[in-house]
Structure 1
């Protein structure tokens, strides 16, 4: 049984539900832009208060971006990587 090796971009295209691995950068940039506008706009509710649907979306975008950065870090610091 052969195992298909996927690039980081292919893996994230699948996770994000987009057709092209070439569009991963644009998709992540758009998510970061929305998240940063939301956070910098000061629209987050205080801790313990209900959050809006947009706040929930921003939190989800933060989770996606954190996952991507963790995968990149693993790829960059994996075995055989020399600096």
Structure 2
């Protein structure tokens, strides 16, 4: 029989983000969203076809993290497990 260890969404993401406490997950995700939105909305994005910068790589990483969190949140809402 396979045993299931239930872990909260916050605990999974605290682990993924390298945060010691689940209380900081919301703040970290909000900061990443703010950085990404400022980069996109305030003209930080280079024109299409132009080489990006380190900030562009960071913004892409922020987008990747936020998309992953939203996918996991959708799984939780649908009653599915979140992989650790």
Structure 1 length-normalised TM:
0.86
Distance 1:74 1:6 in 2: 13
Alignment match, 1:33: 34
Say which structure, 1 or 2, has more relative contact order (CA 8 Å, 6+ apart): 2
* RMSD, aligned CA: 1.5
Alignment match, 2:50: 49
SS in 1 for 2:19: coil
Structure 2 length-normalised TM:
0.85
Cα separation, partners in 2 of 1:78 and 1:2, compared to 1, 3 Å: closer
What are the ranges of 5 or more consecutive residues in structure 2 without an aligned counterpart? none
1:78 matched to 2:79: yes
